[in-house]
Amino acid sequence: MMCNKCGRELITKNEIPGTGFVTCNVEWGYPSAKDGETHTFTLCEDCYDQIVREFQIPVDRKERIELI
């Protein structure tokens, strides 16, 4: 698996990613020019952080208390 923005390989051990990442799956519909297309991409944590810093409205953050 690789980050679509920076190209960094997300190293895996036993098929478990070795770094934080997010995978986005966007299904475009009417009236988009991409109507009927599905776009999928992966971002490493560093690239995700770079992108969300540019948001005019910050991401909604919720902290989980119990981690498994």
* Mean pLDDT per 10-residue segment, the chain (68 residues): 93 73 94 96 96 96 81
Report the predicted TM-score, pTM, of the whole model to 2 decimal places. Answer: 0.79
Cα–Cα distances in angstroms (integers) from residue 41 to residues 1, 11, 21, 56, in the given order: 10, 16, 10, 22
Predicted pLDDT of residue 64 = 82
Cα–Cα distances in angstroms (integers) from residue 35 to residues 4, 16, 41, in the given order: 22, 33, 18
Q: Are 26 and 32 in contact (CB under 8 A)?
A: no
Predicted pLDDT of residue 8 = 93
Nearest to 47 by CA among 25, 26, 21: 21
**Would you give the DSSP letter of residue 4?**
T
